[in-house]
Amino acid sequence: MSFKTISVIGLGYIGLPTAAMFASRKIKVIGVDVNKNAVDIINKGQIHIIEPELDIIVHAAVTEGYLKATSKPEPADAFLIAVPTPFKSSELTSDFVPDLSFIEAACKSIATVLKPGDLVILESTSPVGATEKVASWLSEERTDLTFPQQAGHEADVNIAHCPERVLPGHVVRELVANDRVIGGMTARCSERAQELYKAFVEGECVLTNVRTAELAKLTENASRDVSIAFANELSLICDKIGVDVWELIRLANRHPRVNILQPGPGVGGHCIAVDPWFIVSESPRESRLIKTARLVNDSKPTWVIDKVKLAIAELMQQYPSKTTRDISIACYGLTFKPDIDDLRESPAFQIAKNLTEYHSGLIYCVEPNIKELPESLSTAELVNANTALERADVHLMLVDHSEFKSMKVEKEFLIDTKGIWI
């Protein structure tokens, strides 16, 4: 392989596993992160995130000397940028627009160590045109080097987009097994990126151009968002007309060409709830369905909170001596999806937080994947499922963790957003 040293910029949920996979193939990897704490933890052979099997791989890579973390970029033959691309509110409309400031900062930092022959890959999920921006930011910083937009396949530095597509919780397996879409700024860029990924990817590396690769990633997540919005919309319709949505979906899915996803408390995570906006912000008039799906999914937490308020009102009607202060609520699950520890962009977490702000009685939270509640939920109490089931008056099932699925729960005041205790 022509790449002796690889540098991964951003050691988060994607960057760290990717760095570890290259290192596990006995390639020297320099991981760069602005978070000093993450750098220190990784250099001890430990990890700062929860992802099955990753700890063992990182530990081996660090102790065998193939992976080291640092806060300052060092020369390498290939640079993979895996930093976040959050969104911010548009100054012109009520929509959201992508924030590329982390990518720009990453470009400025690696520009200082770039040399002829290097390959730069943008892995971060990005709006169409972002990889071309990477190329122009790098060329502004390094006027002594040539880039694909100026020199085509003769460029000193090759640039490609290769979006990550792994499912949190299954990252190690999916990094190796999934097909990769690689979009180079030239055919040469694509081929070099393909050579790099073949170091550990067993799936097919499919080559395309840079804009198609960018839009392919956004399309995958927008497609899932639209499908979940359909399920969430069905759950509202069913609730209104008294039909069990879970049974309905099970029955409809018996049709050979129907495959409806599952409703829930809303769509969370930093991908599916974010990426469709990258399409909407570029093509607002054309992406009506994609935008509506976003709005449907984003409105689900408010609907769930209204259900809790209704349950409290019914409970008080049944027990007129009780005040709202006497009524306790248990929230089962806080993460953005089952069997992970990630609370970021979690509708379940948002609902629990909102309840602590609105409700004067006790709020119990049951979340088997975390050890303590974050500061913003400090008025709630973290308890185990049995305690919550024993003590709370209103029960709110939010995340279908394996632990919860194996329990049998029958409660009068139960709002089950995942349909596992009904």
- In 3D space, the residue among 107, 111, 119, 137 whose CA is nearest the CA of residue 182 turns out to be 119
Cα-based angle 142, 128, 10 (whole degrees, multiple of 5): 60
Cβ distance to ligand SAJ smaller for residue 17 or 73: 17
11 forms part of the interface with ligand SAJ (CB under 6 A): no
Question: For 144, what's the count of Cα atoms within 13 Å in the CB-facing half-sphere?
Answer: 6
Choose between 62 and 162: whose C-beta lies nearer to ligand SAJ. 162
352 lies in the site for ligand SAJ, by CB under 6 A: no
**10 sits near ligand SAJ (criterion: CB under 6 A):** no
Q: How far apart are the first and last CA of the chain?
A: 55
Which residue in 421, 240, 241, 415 sits closest to 312, CA to CA?
A: 415
Residues between 258 and 277 with contacts to ligand SAJ, criterion CB under 6 A: 261-262, 264, 267-269, 271-272
**336 binding ligand SAJ? (CB under 6 A):** yes
Instruction: Give the bridge partners for 31, in sequence order.
Output: 8, 69
Comparison of 349 and 413: residue with beta carbon closer to ligand SAJ: 349
Catalytic residue among 162, 271, 331, 365: 271
Active-site residue identified among 107, 162, 217, 331: 217
DSSP letters for 372-387? S--GGGTTSEE--HHH
Distance in Å, CB of 222 to ligand SAJ, minimum:
9
| CB-nearest residue to ligand SAJ | 271
The span from the CA of 316 to the CA of 271, in Å, is: 40
> Which residues, 12 to 71, sit near ligand SAJ by CB under 6 A?
none
Q: Report the alpha-carbon distance of residue 341 to residue 368 in Å, rounded.
A: 9
Active-site residue, 217 included: yes
Place of tokens 């119990």: 364
Residue placing its CB nearer to ligand SAJ in the complex, 170 or 411: 170
CB of 233 to ligand SAJ, least distance (A): 12
Cβ at position 232, least distance to ligand SAJ in Å? 7
Minimum distance from residue 330 beta carbon to ligand SAJ (Å)? 19
Residue 277 or 336: the one with the smaller Cβ distance to ligand SAJ is: 336
Distance CA 349, CA 337 (A): 11
Secondary structure percentages of the chain, helix, strand, coil, to 5: 45, 15, 40
Q: Which of 192, 291, 337, 359 binds ligand SAJ (CB under 6 A)?
A: 337
Whether 205 sits among the annotated catalytic residues: the reply is no
Residue 215 found at the interface with ligand SAJ (CB under 6 A)? no
Q: What beta strand segments (E) does 266-351 contain?
A: 329-332
Q: Is 228 in the site for ligand SAJ (CB under 6 A)?
A: yes
Instruction: Choose between 54 and 111: whose C-beta lies nearer to ligand SAJ.
Output: 54
Q: Does 293 bind ligand SAJ (CB under 6 A)?
A: no
- Tell me whether residue 54 or residue 138 sits nearer to ligand SAJ (CB atom): 54
Please, which of residues 115-134 interact with ligand SAJ by CB under 6 A? 125
The residue count for binding ligand SAJ (CB under 6 A) is 20
| Separation CA 73–CA 113 (nearest Å) | 7
- Binding to ligand SAJ by residue 332, rule CB under 6 A? no
Q: How far apart are CA 49 and CA 288, in angstroms?
A: 36
* Cα 351 to Cα 399: distance, rounded to the nearest angstrom: 12
Q: Annotate 196-214 with DSSP letters as a single string.
A: HHTTT--S-EEEEEHHHHH
135-174: which residues touch ligand SAJ (CB under 6 A)? 164-168
Active site residues: 217, 271
Q: Which residues bind ligand SAJ (CB under 6 A)?
A: 125, 164-168, 220-221, 224, 228, 261-262, 264, 267-269, 271-272, 336-337
